[in-house]
Amino acid sequence: MARIGIVGGTGYTGSELLRLLAGHPRAQVSVITSRAEAGQRVADALPMLRGRVDLVFEDPERAALAECDLVFFATPNGTAMQHAPALLDAGVRVVDLAADFRIKNLSVWERWYGMPHAAPALVDEAVYGLPEINREAIRAARLVANPGCYPTAVTLGLLPLLECALIDATRIIADGKSGVSGAGRKANAGLLMAEVGESFKAYSVAGHRHEPEMEETLRMATREQVRLIFVPHLVPMVRGIEATLYAELRDADIDLYQVFAQRYVNEPFVDVVPADLAVETRSVRGSNLCRIAVMEPQRKGVVVVQSVIDNLVKGAAGQAVQNMNLMLGFAETDGLDGVALSP
């Protein structure tokens, strides 16, 4: 069994990692850290893991992370870049679920994240962890930057169109909706269900830090000079990302469904559905699946893509486990073949 460490085990992504790894056939969590909960049994803090995880939260400064085969950082932005170099020097592979290594342009990263980068030498080495575009590079990687939740849904929704040069890459609109867990587990009155319930709002309309991540990733994957407008929204649900994507078609005589179906035919975690089927966040809740529908409404020259994921699974912990599987030579689907929850 591979020895796995998790830095930051009490947040939503950290606890989701524990849930997924508790049933993994070839990997076992041996170290989990939390400054706030150090000394507490994991199963006491996260009762759903009773009988499945027999660990105690450790202080990250004292934990034997260097003895692990791979360490996940489920921590706020700015943490992994402080500690990843020492782990890599010790021969440990690292998956960062935050944004420390996602953007190659350091000046862009520092502007959006408001801090100097502590490990600039590792930024070029880090592999962007979207298996649907970087699978072979991930297999060989020491350091993987796990994508953001919005960028995962948006990138997978736009990739076939850009790879085939079917749309104007400079005029793309990405309309995103997220459940409240996307903001992380923290005390914030604006994220209370009493504040979010029976309401719907856009936020960061002037600019969101995931926008440069999307543009850079799509540009590197397709060599298209991508420009998009991204507007995220907060909706009164716990889990889920829905991205509705709009772009002008260059070729009106194209079978869009077949373009997407052929692009993702061998992808275990992308499901392209006929346009007449509903694409709902609840259809992927708890799963590592991205479900996509595409159409050209009323033949007006505009393509509309609907892309849904669970922000905590394919948008975070599930994708991180998918990357771990590739990095450690496991079957890519190990620990991730659960069916979505319903209702």
Could you list the active site residues? 149
- Write phi, then psi, for 191 (nearest 5 degrees): -105, 0
* Sequence-ordered strand ranges (E) for the chain: 2-7, 27-33, 70-73, 93-96, 127-128, 143-145, 167-178, 201-202, 228-234, 241-249, 270-272, 290-295, 302-309
| Angle at 21 (CA atoms; ends 16, 25), nearest 5 degrees | 155
d(CA 199, CA 211): 24
d(CA 301, CA 174): 17
- Write phi, then psi, for 123 (nearest 5 degrees): -65, -45
Q: What is the DSSP letter of 148?
A: P
Strand, coil or helix: 245: strand
Find all residues with CB under 8 Å of 32, minimum gap 6, and list them.
Answer: 5, 6, 9, 14, 18, 42, 55, 57, 58
Q: How far apart are the first and last CA of the chain?
A: 34
d(CA 205, CA 230): 8
d(CA 53, CA 71): 17
> CA distances (Å), 74 to each of 80, 116, 191, in order?
9, 20, 20
**Helices and strands (H and E) in the chain: how many:** 11, 13
Query: Are the C-beta atoms of 286 and 269 separated by less than 8 Å?
Result: no
